[in-house]
Amino acid sequence: MSNSTMLKGKTAVITGSNSGIGLGVAWELARAGADVVLNSFTDRDEDHAIATRIAEETGVSARYIQADMSKGDDCRALIEKAGACDILVNNAGIQHVAPIDEFPVEKWDAIIAINMNSAFHTTAVALPMMRKAGWGRVVNIASAHGLTASPFKAAYIAAKHGVVGMTKTVALETAREHITANAICPGYVLTPLVEAQIPDTARKYDMSEEEVTQKVILERQPSKEFATVEQIGGTTVFLCSDAAAQITGTTISVDGGWTAL
Ligand code: NAD
């Protein structure tokens, strides 16, 4: 089976996919033949234009559906509007960096809602669709911070550890139904989420942005290279393949060796 037809006939919903990793995952799933549903909280022409471009370049059907992943009802409506969901990629996420005693409550609530609770809501609606189809894949984009911690990221780390735990439960509840649930744990990937942290960190440590990239951001990534969105997309496609049919309830690190330290 050629890679471009492997996922033909499957519909993939990728939350938070108008930029960064989610968009990279959407491209790789589309290149593997899946119809894709893109999402974010905005509803701009350029959001819909991304879907049009993916459809034109890969030949799959691609749609953009606006839904705010900080709201449970919106998460559920996204899957309902998609109409089918063979592959669910829970990717939407935000970050905020502050010591725990200064951590703004509204930031804590938003991170827990978007990075963790959204996966509960989307999975709850998607699983009956997967069961009906007799096949399904849940791929949660967690993080190296789902397995280990760093200072000043309490909400993010709590949410990502929560997602890893939820992934195991979903795997156990679906183990005999040809549905798998796994979490991908990327190290640093150069996306808008990471780029936004560089100037603040540079100011904080009185360093140049290049020094911050090498000495602070990639400090814990032994490869000293960012992972790419294509690599996270390729790992997602692998988890959707027959070769991965018995891989469930686990994590795959794409972190240049970070969690081996
Ligand atoms: P990004 O900022 O480029 O993308 C985040 C996506 O989530 C965007 O499409 C954004 O529009 C969307 N989003 C944000 N709030 C939303 C909301 N309320 N409703 C719907 N969509 C919303 O960041 P990214 O680096 O691509 O992050 C994607 C995921 O990967 C996140 O869950 C992040 O935690 C995880 N991750 C990223 C890295 C990294 O180094 N970039 C590492 C590990 C894990």
Convert the pLDDT of each residue in 132-168 to its tens digit: 999 999 999 999 999 999 999 999 999 999 999 999 9
Q: What confidence score (pLDDT) does residue 192 get?
A: 87
Which amino acid does the sequence have at 237?
Answer: V
The confidence score (pLDDT) of residue 2 equals 61
| Percent of the chain clearing pLDDT 70 (strictly above) | 99
Residue 138 Cα, ligand 1 centroid: separation in angstroms? 17
Query: Does residue 93 register a pLDDT over 70?
Result: yes
Q: How far is the CA of 117 from the centre of ligand 1 (A)?
A: 14
Spell out the alpha helix ranges (H) of 185-261: 192-195, 197-205, 209-211, 229-240
Mean pLDDT across the chain, nearest whole number? Answer: 97
Q: Which residues contact 8 (CB under 8 A, 6 or more apart)?
A: 33, 34
- Mean pLDDT value of segment 69-85: 98
Average pLDDT estimate for 112-119: 99
Ligand 1 atom with the smallest distance to the CA of 70 is: 18
Beta bridge partner(s), residue 234 = none
User: With 90 as the cut, is the pLDDT of residue 245 above it?
Assistant: yes
* Nearest atom within ligand 1 for CA of residue 69: 19
What average pLDDT does range 26-32 have in this prediction? 98
Report how far residue 147's alpha carbon sits from residue 141's, in angstroms, rounded to the nearest whole number: 12
CA-nearest of 180, 69, 163, 72 to 124 is: 72
Q: Which atom of ligand 1 is nearest to the CA of 188?
A: 40
Give the DSSP letter string of 40-94. Answer: ES---HHHHHHHHHHHHHH-S-EEEEE--TTSHHHHHHHHHHH---SEEEE----
Least reliable range by pLDDT among 42-56, 62-76, 175-189, 205-219: 205-219
Residue pair 16/40 in contact by the 8 Å Cβ criterion: yes
Quick check: CB of 114 below 6 Å from ligand 1?
A: yes
For ligand 1, is residue 93 a contact (CB within 6 Å)? yes
Cα(21) to centroid(ligand 1), Å: 7
User: pLDDT band at 1, cuts 50/70/90?
Assistant: low
Q: Which residues carry out catalysis?
A: 156
Q: Whose CA is nearest to atom 2 of ligand 1?
A: 193
State mean pLDDT over 66-77. Answer: 99
Testing ligand 1's pocket by substitution, the residue of 14, 17, 21, 212 carrying the most ligand atoms inside 8 A of its CB is 21
Q: How confident is the model at residue 193 (pLDDT cuts 50, 70, 90)?
A: confident
Instruction: Name the band, by pLDDT with cuts 50, 70 and 90, for residue 100.
Output: very high
For the CA atoms of 207, 208, 213, 217, what is the dihedral angle to 10 degrees? 20
Asked if residue 212 has its Cβ within 6 Å of ligand 1, the reply is no
pLDDT > 80? residue 121: yes
As a whole number of angstroms, the distance between CA 58 and CA 31 comes to 6
Mean pLDDT confidence for 57-64: 98
Q: What residues pair up with 89 in beta bridges, in sequence order?
A: 14, 139
**Centroid of ligand 1 to alpha carbon of 13 (angstroms):** 15
Q: What is residue 92's predicted lDDT score, i.e. its pLDDT?
A: 98
| CB 193 near ligand 1, within 6 Å | yes
Pocket test for ligand 1, best of 191, 197, 225 (most atoms within 8 A of CB): 191
Q: How confident is the model at residue 176 (pLDDT cuts 50, 70, 90)?
A: very high
| Ligand 1 pocket member 191 (CB < 6 A) | yes
Best of 193, 217, 253 for a ligand 1 pocket test (most atoms within 8 Å of beta carbon): 193
Asked whether the CA dihedral 200, 113, 88, 36 is positive or negative, the reply is negative
40 touches ligand 1 (CB under 6 Å):
yes
